[in-house]
Amino acid sequence: MADSPTPLKTNYHHGDLPQQAHELALEVLREHGDAAISLRALAKQIGVSAPALYRHFIDRDSLLAELAVTGFEALRERLLAVDQSNPRRALIDIGLVYVSFARDEPNLYRLMFGGRVLPKGIHPRLDIAGRGAFQVLEDTIAQAQAAGYVKPISLSLMTAAAWSLVHGLSQLSIDGHLPSAKAEPHLTEGVVTLLLDGSIAENKQHKKDTTS
Amino acid sequence: MADSPTPLKTNYHHGDLPQQAHELALEVLREHGDAAISLRALAKQIGVSAPALYRHFIDRDSLLAELAVTGFEALRERLLAVDQSNPRRALIDIGLVYVSFARDEPNLYRLMFGGRVLPKGIHPRLDIAGRGAFQVLEDTIAQAQAAGYVKPISLSLMTAAAWSLVHGLSQLSIDGHLPSAKAEPHLTEGVVTLLLDGSIAENKQHKKDTTS
DNA sequence: TAACAATGTTACTGGTGATAACTTATGGCT
DNA sequence: AGCCATAAGTTATCACCAGTAACATTGTTA
């Protein structure tokens, strides 16, 4: 493959601009928030002219949308990693992982859900990625329902409740609206359990003591 | 008021700049989002020079923070208006009002909770206003607890759960992440009820059928 | 080798937040 | 009444930003 005599001399073509810009932007986002992302600054830091970025990102918003997509994908992966053997425990763990993701990456999480990027329909990939993360939660609930661990109510209702709970918890947590940010996991587990105990099927009610 | 001889001739001193700027900014926010708020544009529309605004708002962020404060105050008022006679019904109605507020003023709501303005400690008035709205919810829960309609668990835990639920529901709703945006109130009521039924005190459990 | 497409470049426009230095009206004090 | 400190405007200016247009360089392909 082309051992050209002077392969390093010319850096006219960067060769990896999109990915490097993406990574650098992600780093800036994580550390300083989306507002701190400047295409000019990115270009300068990479060592390339500013308009070059427009060859790969039609927009600044487009770049942010890509970052949000990777965020949803990362969230999805972390949600997929939870052990699904015990349905009830899986639901709680999903909540814990979800909230811990938001706490680990508050700026990324805010970008994903801040409504700043996503007029919902402008960036199809973003919608797909978001749906992908959501799907894990829904599948887990459906599984728990099938196993009889959750009331057989409307799946969409149950999912909306669960997602709202962990999402709201995440948002309030990273915004500092909750007291005792230290004992966070305990709070999360307590809150999720609270919802769960209200969703336990009648015939499993007597089992409640075995889990705690 | 005060028919001074030539009250209109001199407009060097606007006389009402802060309030008018606040109102105009709020209108822009509601219709186009916080990103669309430009001090220069505001000044031009009011008919005043841009730096004039800096006499009244030390910062752009400071103006946004004031808008968020009014948002929290408005939310608090709407929450205070719900009928508190029936504790259970009050909790559900609080949730309905909360979510409907977010849906009525999505851009304002996003500003209030977007984490864009509130490093939590920079704007004391904002913290106070936020706490004020939160307090209504907490008081309602405490009341319901005192009346025996809610499990006597930690008030902060119960409040965190309730707030997370309605907040998450609001956020997901205004971002279009929930299906069937039409039957929104029904969904909200169902979700809140779901949490509530998990929080019902043992001795009131048999009453469950009377409400549905 | 000639044409082409992709990827980069410099030059430029319009808009933004913010500050400095200056000007004018207001209102309290003597 | 007259004065003057100060509040509330003004113009001028800076630094930064997103985005566009026109041009230059490279790799590929006919």
In one letter, which amino acid is A20?
Q
User: Which residues neighbour A15 within 8 Å (Cβ) at sequence distance 6 or greater?
Assistant: none
Q: Are residues A90 and A111 in the same domain?
A: yes
In a domain, A1, yes or no: no
Q: What's the token pair of residue B73? A: 């105050």
Q: Are residues B65 and B40 in the same domain?
A: no
Q: Which of A15-19, A58-62, B49-53 has the lowest mean pLDDT?
A: A15-19
User: Which residues neighbour A139 within 8 Å (Cβ) at sequence distance 6 or greater?
Assistant: none
In a domain, B5, yes or no: no
Residue A190 main-chain phi, psi, to 5 deg: -60, -45
Q: What is the CATH number of the domain that holds A30?
A: 1.10.10
pLDDT over 90 (residue A35) = yes
Domain extent for B199: 60-211
Q: What is the CATH number of the domain that holds A182?
A: 1.10.357.10
Q: Looking at the partner chain, which of A134, A166, A179 has a beta carbon nearest the beta carbon of B156? A: A179
Distance to chain A for B163, nearest Cα, Å: 7
Q: How far is the CA of A88 from the C1' of D15 (A)?
A: 56
* Mean pLDDT, rounded, for B18-36: 96
* B114: chain A residues, CB-CB within 8 Å: 110, 114-116
pLDDT over 80 (residue A11) = no
Q: Are residues B25 and B104 in the same domain?
A: no
Q: Are residues B27 and B65 in the same domain?
A: no
pLDDT over 70 (residue B205) = no
Strand D at less than 7 A from CB of B46: no
Structure confidence at residue A118 (pLDDT) = 66
Distance from C-alpha of A99 to C-alpha of B71, rounded to nearest angstrom: 26
Only one residue has tokens 């809610």, namely B150
Q: Please state, for a pLDDT cut of 90, what percent of chain B lies above it.
A: 66
In a domain, A112, yes or no: yes
Q: Of the ranges A152-166, A186-200, B118-132, which is most confident?
A: A152-166
pLDDT over 70 (residue A29) = yes
Q: Are residues B156 and B70 in the same domain?
A: yes
The answer to whether B191 contacts A116, with C-beta atoms less than 8 Å apart, is: no
In a domain, B83, yes or no: yes
Q: Residue B36's closest chain A neighbor by CA?
A: A116
Q: How many CB pairs under 8 A join A and B?
A: 131
Q: Which of residues 18-57 of A touch strand C (CB under 7 A)?
A: 43, 48-52, 55-56
Q: Are residues B33 and B66 in the same domain?
A: no
Nearest in space to B26 (alpha carbons), one of B15, B40, B37, B14? B37
B184: pLDDT confidence band, cut at 50, 70 and 90?
A: confident
pLDDT over 90 (residue B185) = no
